[in-house]
Amino acid sequence: MGRWTTGDEKGAALIIALLLLLVLTLLGVSLINTAIFETSITGNERTRVAAFYTAEAGIQQALAQLPAMASIPRTQLGKDSYYWSGTVKDRNRPPEIESLGLAFQHGSELSEVGFKRLRVRMTGESLGAVQEIEVQVKCSQPIRPTTDY
């Protein structure tokens, strides 16, 4: 009375095991693809950061030469790293540092004192990545405004 027969269920364990194996294989492939994608993102970020710091080195060189406003030619920093003043388009003919006129601030005698404002644009290239930086600086030597027009 009421006996269970297993004659019809032969191979059910094999089908369940194969389905479980398929799920685990898909999960493994997905994890491998994610790891490869993350590695690619990390590599891109590393080259972008290297290009940024190459441009930063150019900014430091430009600031060290102030108040001279000469252009910074394409300069090799490392094996595959270069910087120059200007933008990507200025690679072969870098422009001079740009003057933005005077920046005024109140002096100690309540008279206005002007400082020379400059814009320094620098481009860094490293391992194929390019990064542009722009800084605006105020020269530390005050200029007293004159009344000559």
10-residue averages of pLDDT along the chain (149 residues): 62 90 97 95 91 92 84 88 90 86 63 76 92 86 52
Q: Is residue 144 part of a domain?
A: no
Residue with tokens 């009375």: 1
Q: How far apart are CA 11 and CA 125, in angstroms?
A: 62
Q: Is residue 145 part of a domain?
A: no
Q: How far from the centroid of its chain's Cα atoms is residue 76's Cα?
A: 18
Range of the domain at 104: 10-138
Q: How far apart are CA 108 and CA 85, in angstroms?
A: 36
β-strand pairing of 129-138 with 112-126? antiparallel
Domain count, the chain: 1
Confidence at residue 112, expressed as pLDDT on a 0 to 100 scale: 61
pTM (2 decimals)? 0.68
Confidence at residue 109, expressed as pLDDT on a 0 to 100 scale: 52
Q: Is residue 133 part of a domain?
A: yes
Of the candidates 72, 48, 49, 50, the one whose C-alpha atom is nearest the C-alpha of residue 61 is 72
Bridge partners of 132, per DSSP, are 123
Of the candidates 80, 81, 57, 61, the one whose C-alpha atom is nearest the C-alpha of residue 70 is 61
Q: Is residue 24 part of a domain?
A: yes
Q: How far apart are CA 83 and CA 25, in angstroms?
A: 48
Bridge partners of 103, per DSSP, are 115
Confidence at residue 110, expressed as pLDDT on a 0 to 100 scale: 40
Q: Is residue 124 part of a domain?
A: yes
β-strand pairing of 81-85 with 98-106? unpaired
Q: Is residue 22 part of a domain?
A: yes
